[in-house]
Amino acid sequence: MPPPQLAPVVARAPLFPSVILLLVGLLAGPASARAAEAVVRVQIIPDAPSARITVLGPCRIIDLAGRTVVSTLPQLRWQEIRPRAEGIQVGRSVIRSRRVQIAPAGDWLIAVNGVRYRGALNIIRLDDSYLQLISEMPLEEYLKGVVPTEIDHRWPLETLKAQAIVARTFTRRQVADRAGHDFDVTKVWPQLYGGLPAERSRAAEAVEATRGRVLMFEGHLLPAYYHTVCGGHTEDASRVWPAIQQAPLRGVPCHYCQRAPHGHWRFEMSEEEVGQRLQRLGLGGRPVMGLTVVARDASGRVTTVAVESTQGTSCVSSVQLRAVLGPNRLRSTNFVIAHPDSRWVFQGSGWGHGVGLCQWGAARLGQQRQTAAQILAYYYPGAELVEWPRP
Ligand SMILES: [Zn+2]
């Protein structure tokens, strides 16, 4: 299904916010203004020997270990940060701490090696040679960089709103699970975060229109998984992750993604390569003489494949098989296997684990004038759409 061809409107955050916004930010103070807002910590560089930092407005340097403000500066221009034996160097100063935050006032942005980020920057000294850099920003701002990266911002607004709610729910759970860690997410895990360059006005509108809304089930945040295209039926989450046994994630038929590009696929792999890859699972010896689907679940997806080799026959789960052959080649667990000559041929439908919301199906439902609430009720039956935190 081709997406509606609406003209993309690029909305990039200004590097120089208005004087009014700056004054409001300074008067209110970033900490008090954002105290009630959930934040997300995004790892942007896992290990950097040094970096250059720019903030074109007032900012504070905070020792996160002692929770004290070390200094307040009118601005930082292309200042180098690097690890030192006694702490972290910022410009010409060395802060005697393993964890430092640079917090711009109000809505001023911080640039790291020339790339702009919202919120504050956490600098963690890993050892004498490397720093870890983490962008800490309000959850809603983070979502504005996720939604247009995960789906096409030209899709129907109600589809974008459904995606925003699902991404918010997923992130809330992630933040709760990662409380004891230095960061909650990275730029690619568990969702794609494109940052400021990826932001688009329609996606931002969808985030704003659904601000704070999440999916709950039996009093807890739902593990709101989503995927590109299901291929006809969404998957029972417990088939992929046995610990997840929740009614809204048992899978539903989906006839809305039939015309999605990449909905049907085919790939080939040589006998030799299949054998090599299966050996990573400790299975069989080369060559692999037989690959046979032995069980499918109610959605039609393969659950178990028998592997026949010179060392006998073993069984492998389709989830393991997908991981070892490559999840972007064996795009889903809904496939058939053929062996015409010295190659193994896989043909299937769907892309992704198939659990929860089917993005291409949601696009079609949006085109059919379904609301975000209706789209979510379809893919997560029984889940409750609520404001978080509850009033
Ligand atoms: Zn679908």
Distance between Cα 359 and ligand 1 center (Å): 7
CA–centroid distance, 277 to ligand 1, in Å, is 30
CA of 158 to the centre of ligand 1 (A): 17
**Residue-wise pLDDT tens digits, 37-87:** 799 999 999 999 999 999 999 999 999 988 899 999 999 999 999 999 999
What are the CA-CA distances from residue 173 to residues 134, 214, 336 (Å)? Answer: 19, 10, 35
Residue 314: the pLDDT is 87
Res 390: pLDDT: 56
At residue 352, the pLDDT reads 87
Distance, CA 258 to ligand 1 centroid (Å)?
A: 7
Separation of 87 CA from ligand 1 center, angstroms?
A: 51
Predicted pLDDT at 389: 67
- Look-up: residue for tokens 């609520």? 386
Spacing, Cα 309 to ligand 1 middle (Å):
36
pLDDT of residue 286: 66
Measure 112 CA to ligand 1 centroid, in angstroms.
39
Residue 162 Cα to ligand 1 midpoint, Å, equals 15
- Those residues of the chain that have pLDDT short of 70 are 1-36, 284-286, 389-391
Question: Both tokens of residue 239?
Answer: 């088939």
Cβ burial 58-77 (10 Å sphere, 16+ → b, else e): bbbbbbeeeeeebeebeebe
- 105: phi > 0 → left, psi -120 to 50 → alpha, else beta; which? beta
CA of 121 to the centre of ligand 1 (A): 39
Interval between CA 257 and ligand 1 midpoint (Å)? 4
Which residue's entry shows tokens 């992929």? 240
User: Quick one: pLDDT at residue 111?
Assistant: 95
Angle of the 359-367 helix axis to the 372-379 helix axis, nearest 10: 140
CA of 90 to the centre of ligand 1 (A): 50
Query: What tens digit of pLDDT does each residue of 205-223 get?
Result: 999 999 999 999 999 999 9
Q: Tell me, what's the pLDDT at 284?
A: 59
CA of 202 to the centre of ligand 1 (A): 23
What is the pTM (predicted TM-score) of this model? 0.81
CA angle 141, 145, 151 (to 5 degrees): 135
261 Cα–ligand 1 center, Å: 12
CA distance 216 to 385: 6
| Neighbouring residues of the ion ligand 1, judged by CB less than 5 Å | 230, 254, 257, 358, 361
Q: What is the DSSP secondary-structure string of 219-286? A: TEE----EESB-SSBPBPHHHHSTT---GGGS--B--SSTT-TTSEEEEEEEHHHHHHHHHTTT---S
DSSP calls for 12-78:
---SS--HHHHHHHHHH-HHHHHTTS-EEEEEEEEEES-EEEEESS-EEEEETTTTEEEEEES-EEE
Check if the beta carbon of residue 81 is closer than 8 Å to that of residue 90: yes
The angle at the Cα of 174, spanning 242 to 39, to the nearest 5 degrees, equals 170
Q: Give per-residue pLDDT as tens, 93-118.
A: 999 999 999 999 999 999 999 999 99
Ligand 1 centroid to residue 220 C-alpha, Å: 26
pLDDT attached to residue 83? 97
Task: Report CA(167)–ligand 1 centroid distance (Å).
Answer: 18
Taking the C-alpha atoms of residue 179 and residue 38, their distance in angstroms, rounded to an integer, is 12
